[in-house]
Amino acid sequence: MFNTTTWNRIRYGLYAPIYDLVADRVFRGARRVALGQVAWQPGMRVLLVGAGTGLDLPWLPRDIELHASDLSPAMVRRLEQRAESLGRDVQAEVMDAERLAYPDDHFDVVVMHLILAVMPDPEKGLNEARRVLKPDGQLCVMDKFQADDHPAGLARRSLNALTSAIATDITRQARPLLEAAGFVIEQDTPVMMGSLVRALLATQRVDSPPTRAAPHEA
């Protein structure tokens, strides 16, 4: 089993110098669509989880309070360089998405782009996202997902043994993951490769309060 927090920290440290060459142009349009679904308001406190090198920064409003976290120190350093070049004030931290060191009910928007299909335990990541979101907060997701109406077949699961080790899990389903974490999907937009890559906007389900806990250490 290669998809572990330790392995992700190592591999994304190695990927950092070339990450933009792969992920910038390919996902640029998808990022814009996903972020365009958010109902932005001035002064919002926003968290980018698994922010990578900061490729979302050009498409975010400037009148927000912006925080970013990533598991890889190399990614965070490149994010900080991008923020400086763009003239953006970003509070960036090295942090595990499954153990966020932020208080409960702290953010108006949590952005999770290209991370749910990467992290070892996406359920934990979504529970943490919900914990740090305000009750009326918005979750912005963009990622690669298996169709919601049927699980991955044998061939896809077999291929996933390779893809999850070097890049991404290709068997995860968006709607079951988000709904199990207590979210209601408000918008679900296919953005690339048919419906393989989707942009989703979700809010918290009011009849399912999240489990509250003290914030974790980074």
In a domain, 81, yes or no: yes
In a domain, 218, yes or no: no
* pLDDT value at residue 6: 84
In a domain, 74, yes or no: yes
In a domain, 216, yes or no: no
What b/e readout covers 184-218, taking b as 16+ CB neighbours within 10 angstroms? ebeebbebbeeeebbbbbbbbeeeeebeeeeeeee
* pLDDT value at residue 74: 95
In a domain, 90, yes or no: yes
The domain that holds 136 is classified in CATH as 3.40.50.150
* pLDDT above 60 (res 115): yes
Question: What's the chain's average pLDDT?
Answer: 89
In a domain, 211, yes or no: no
d(C-alpha 208, C-alpha 203), whole Å? 12
User: Residues 153-157: what's their mean pLDDT?
Assistant: 66
Q: Taking a C-beta distance cutoff of 8 angstroms, is the pair 171, 150 a contact?
A: no
Which domain covers residue 39, as residue numbers?
A: 5-204
pLDDT tens profile 24-65: 999 999 999 999 999 999 999 999 999 999 999 999 999 999
Entry pTM: 0.89
State how many domains the chain has. Answer: 1
* pLDDT above 80 (res 203): yes
d(C-alpha 92, C-alpha 71), whole Å? 11
User: What SS3 class is residue 47?
Assistant: strand
* Spatial CA neighbour of 95 closest among 128, 140, 50: 50
In a domain, 135, yes or no: yes
